[in-house]
């Protein structure tokens, strides 16, 4: 069973609907024993880092998730769920879970592409240039695009963990893999077929990044 962590960060039903479509058994839960039982963990989220971390600490879900990751079972972070796995976020100056070394930064003001000012949030479809092979990102066509909505972006401490880069005035990490954890800044549940492919791959993944 796949557990979708419910930490009151936005609407989790769209991830659930995608799993339902893929015929994957899932549960949206914040219940620690159920989370322990799960084979896969999805950590989604929309909203602000400060509030999300406060809730995770208050409910001890932070400890549970850290423990979960240490067990080596596969975990997928999505959007805000990806951002809070780092050590720190500039959003609300928040100390985060610290599962992956690195931080989260805000897109600079006056971001430019040519002579055109770019709008923040970065919202819409953008290309992800996949750098490495990884079982969760298998079977995607070269030109695949994904749906993004965010004003902050992850900066892993080591570029070797980056699976895919995206360009929005600056180049940022849109997908990363770190041991048994994969994390994406975009929304696979709203990215059409390529997004569903990533979710389906994740459900089959055993947590090892061997090919």
Partner 1 sequence: MLSKRIIPCLDVRDGKLTKGIKFKNNVDIGDPVEAAREYYEQGADEIVFYDITASSDGRNIMIDVVRRVAETIFIPFSVGGGIRTVDDMRRVILAGAEKISINSEAVKKPLLINEGARAFGKQCIVLGMDVKKVGRNSRIPSGYEVAIHGGRKYTGIDALWWAKEAENLGAGEICLNSIDADGTQEGYEIELTQLISSNVRIPVIASGGAGKPEHLLDVLTRGKADAALIASMVHYRTYTISEIKTYLNGHGVKIRMHW
Residues near partner 1, by CB under 8 A: 10-11, 13-14, 17-18, 20-21, 46-47, 113, 117, 119-127, 141-145, 147, 149, 167-168, 189-196
Angle, in degrees to the nearest 10, between helices 49-58 and 61-70: 90
Are the C-beta atoms of 19 and 28 separated by less than 8 Å? no
Q: Is 153 helix (H, G, I), strand (E, B) or coil?
A: strand
Q: How much is the CA Rg of the chain, to the nearest whole Å?
A: 16
Of 124, 175, 182, which Cα lies nearest the Cα of 149? 124
Q: Is 123 helix (H, G, I), strand (E, B) or coil?
A: strand
Pairing status of strand 102-106 against strand 88-89: parallel
Q: Smallest distance from the beta carbon of 59 to partner 1, in angstroms? A: 22
Q: Which of 64, 79, 96, 203 is catalytic?
A: 79
Task: Look up 20 and say whether it is catalytic.
Answer: no
Are the C-beta atoms of 85 and 100 separated by less than 8 Å? yes
Task: Look up 189 and say whether it is catalytic.
Answer: yes
Q: Smallest distance from the beta carbon of 193 to partner 1, in angstroms? A: 6
H or E, element range at 130:
strand 129-130
Q: Smallest distance from the beta carbon of 93 to partner 1, in angstroms? A: 19
Q: Which of 96, 150, 187, 203 is catalytic?
A: 187
When the beta carbons of 101 and 192 are compared against partner 1, the nearer one is: 192
Q: Smallest distance from the beta carbon of 24 to partner 1, in angstroms? A: 14
When the beta carbons of 178 and 187 are compared against partner 1, the nearer one is: 187
Angle, in degrees to the nearest 10, between helices 13-21 and 192-204: 80
Q: Smallest distance from the beta carbon of 149 to partner 1, in angstroms? A: 5
When the beta carbons of 181 and 200 are compared against partner 1, the nearer one is: 200
Question: CA-CA distance, 66 to 199, in Å (whole number)?
Answer: 22
Task: Look up 37 and say whether it is catalytic.
Answer: no
What is the set of active-site residues?
Answer: 79, 187, 189
């Amino acid at each position: 069973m796949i557990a979708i962590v419910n930490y009151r960060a936005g609407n989790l039903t769209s991830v659930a609907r995608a799993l339902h479509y893929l015929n994957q058994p899932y549960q949206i839960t914040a219940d620690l024993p159920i989370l322990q039982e799960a084979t896969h963990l999805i950590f989604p989220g929309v909203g602000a880092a400060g509030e999300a971390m406060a809730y995770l600490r208050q409910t001890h879900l932070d400890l549970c998730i850290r423990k979960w990751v240490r067990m080596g079972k596969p975990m997928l972070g999505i959007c805000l769920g990806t951002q809070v796995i780092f050590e720190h976020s500039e959003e609300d100056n928040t100390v985060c879970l610290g599962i992956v070394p690195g931080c989260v930064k805000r897109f600079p003001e006056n971001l430019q592409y040519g002579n055109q000012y770019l709008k923040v949030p970065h919202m819409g479809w953008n290309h992800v240039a996949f750098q490495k092979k990884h079982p969760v990102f298998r079977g995607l066509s070269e030109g695949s695009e994904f749906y993004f909505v965010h004003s902050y972006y992850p900066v892993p401490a080591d570029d070797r963990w980056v699976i895919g880069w995206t360009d929005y005035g600056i180049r940022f990490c849109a997908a990363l893999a770190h041991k048994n954890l994969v994390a994406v800044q975009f929304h696979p549940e709203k990215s059409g077929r390529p997004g569903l492919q990533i979710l389906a791959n994740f459900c089959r993944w055993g947590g090892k990044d061997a090919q």
